[in-house]
């Protein structure tokens, strides 16, 4: 029976600290590439801070009620580099390890600092998520802060490899079943993971998700970006294509209006990317397979957000139509692009709150106990799992943002 799981050490695993570096070993566990006969995985951990939150750190939320002061939260977390069967992967962890696990996965050329920071800077959303979850931010290979170029001799990972990497990460940290939050390409990887490891996923929160093979237009733009990255690096044309992918026209500005602060920050962030690492992830996503036939097999509830102006709006609608309508809902966010977590994170709060109520998870002001004990949503009455009981309609919900604010 699937359940929330978060064991401090996996079976056969040990933890130690050497000269300020956290090291994990799994004796007799899965072997990573290049491990030969050692049969163990190792990781190092170091603090990584957001520029916007560099003034303060974040402590563990072990109390029964959490008061979240966004000004005092560092969203960088502690970064772990784990050697899996399909290469090294970076995982930044926030919160109390005894709490249920929330796995995140970002879109192309982004990591948790540029894809989920806006959501966690929203005080109500931060209160909801940080009170109920320990968050494990998984970055695509070579997308973490300060990443080195991946060796050219290293094979480009497939989408199945990336999904299997997630399973290796869960095994390493001793996690049984998890909640998942992904954006666009990251939403595809998490959906694929959920179809391959159905018993390990209790819920999916997907933002502007992909589920089909690339359309001709997406394939073409990805090829253009790939060629430009290969020959010219992260040039302005590539950044413009990515920004159009991420954001709506209203925040991208134009000839008469300047770019918004969020777009300028993202443009600056893209300058820091290792262009060939981004190239590799684009190659991976451009070769993805269609997941449509597998969607009916999902055993978890799914909440989908999509921006009204997202390039992938039709894909999100298609995916919702193919999911079991009893356990899925689509929220359309007006005047927004694909990365809702950054452009309009406040629009996600109420749907997420109702969605998580089905698992017995609430904002701290509503309960007096900590969600530390294992939870099993499958013990909940089926009527409570319906979209109507979640407070989310199956028809798109129009959430209009105040663009003057």
**Position 85 in a domain:** yes
Selection from 76, 360, 63, 16 nearest residue 202 by Cα: 360
**Position 86 in a domain:** yes
**Three-class secondary structure of residue 389 per DSSP:** helix
The 10s digit of each residue's pLDDT in 297-327 is 898 999 999 999 999 999 999 999 999 999 9
Give residue for tokens 């309609």. 393
**Position 118 in a domain:** yes
**Position 404 in a domain:** no
The predicted structure's pLDDT at residue 77: 62
Q: Domain with 141 in it: what CATH number?
A: 3.40.50.1820
**Position 265 in a domain:** no
The 10s digit of each residue's pLDDT in 41-95 is 322 333 333 333 333 333 333 333 333 333 333 444 688 999 999 999 999 999 9
Contact 93, 135 (CB under 8 A): yes
Alpha carbons 217 and 26: distance in angstroms, whole number: 45
Q: Is the pLDDT score of 328 beyond 70?
A: yes
DSSP summary character for residue 300? S
Question: What integer best gives the mean pLDDT of the chain?
Answer: 79
**Position 226 in a domain:** no
Alpha carbons 339 and 306: distance in angstroms, whole number: 8
Contact 131, 66 (CB under 8 A): yes
Number of domains in the chain: 1
The predicted structure's pLDDT at residue 92: 95
CA separation, residue 54 to residues 48, 57, 104, 116, 292 (Å): 9, 8, 22, 16, 42
**Position 227 in a domain:** no
The predicted structure's pLDDT at residue 4: 53
User: pTM of the entire structure?
Assistant: 0.76
The predicted structure's pLDDT at residue 256: 81
DSSP summary character for residue 52? G
**Position 253 in a domain:** no
The 10s digit of each residue's pLDDT in 203-247 is 999 999 999 999 999 999 999 999 999 999 999 999 999 999 999
Least confidently predicted of 17-26, 167-176, 395-404: 17-26
Q: What ranges in 4-45 are assigned the alpha helix state H?
A: none
The predicted structure's pLDDT at residue 371: 47
Q: Which domain does 150 fall in, by range?
A: 78-213+290-358
Contact 194, 211 (CB under 8 A): no
């Amino acid at each position: 029976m699937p359940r929330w799981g978060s064991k401090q050490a996996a079976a056969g695993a040990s933890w130690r600290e050497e000269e300020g570096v956290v090291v994990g070993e799994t004796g007799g566990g899965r072997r990573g590439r290049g491990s030969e006969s050692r049969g163990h995985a190792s990781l190092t951990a170091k603090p990584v801070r957001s520029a916007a939150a560099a003034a303060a750190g974040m402590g563990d939320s072990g109390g029964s009620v959490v008061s979240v002061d966004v000004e005092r939260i560092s969203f960088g977390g502690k970064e772990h580099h784990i050697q899996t069967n399909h290469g090294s992967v970076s995982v930044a962890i926030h919160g109390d390890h005894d709490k249920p696990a929330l796995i995140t996965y970002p879109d192309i050329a982004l990591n948790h600092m540029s894809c989920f920071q806006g959501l966690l800077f929203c005080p109500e959303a931060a209160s909801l998520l940080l009170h109920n979850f320990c968050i494990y931010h998984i970055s695509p290979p070579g997308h973490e802060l300060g990443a080195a170029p991946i060796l050219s001799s290293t094979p480009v990972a497939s989408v199945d490899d990336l999904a299997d990497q997630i399973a290796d990460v869960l095994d390493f940290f001793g996690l049984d079943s998890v909640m998942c939050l992904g954006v666009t390409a990251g939403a595809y990887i998490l959906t694929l993971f959920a179809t391959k490891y159905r018993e390990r996923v209790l819920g999916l929160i997907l933002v502007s998700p992909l589920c089909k093979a690339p359309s001709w237009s997406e394939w073409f733009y990805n090829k253009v970006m790939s060629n430009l990255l290969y020959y010219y690096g992260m040039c302005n044309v590539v950044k413009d294509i990515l920004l159009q992918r991420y954001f709506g026209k209203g925040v991208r500005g134009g000839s008469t209006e300047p770019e918004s602060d969020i777009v300028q920050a993202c443009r600056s962030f893209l300058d820091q990317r290792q262009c060939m690492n981004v190239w590799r992830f684009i190659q991976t996503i451009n070769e993805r397979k269609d997941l449509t036939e597998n969607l009916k097999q999902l055993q978890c509830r799914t909440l989908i957000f999509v921006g009204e102006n997202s390039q992938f709006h039709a894909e999100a609608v298609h995916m919702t139509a193919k999911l079991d309508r009893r356990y899925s809902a689509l929220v359309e966010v007006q005047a927004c692009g694909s990365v809702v977590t950054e452009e309009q994170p406040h629009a996600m709060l109420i749907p997420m709150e109702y969605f998580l109520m089905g698992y017995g998870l609430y904002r701290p002001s509503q309960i007096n106990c900590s969600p530390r004990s294992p939870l099993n949503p499958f013990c909940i009455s089926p009527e409570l799992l319906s979209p109507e009981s979640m407070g989310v309609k199956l028809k798109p919900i129009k959430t209009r943002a105040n663009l003057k604010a």
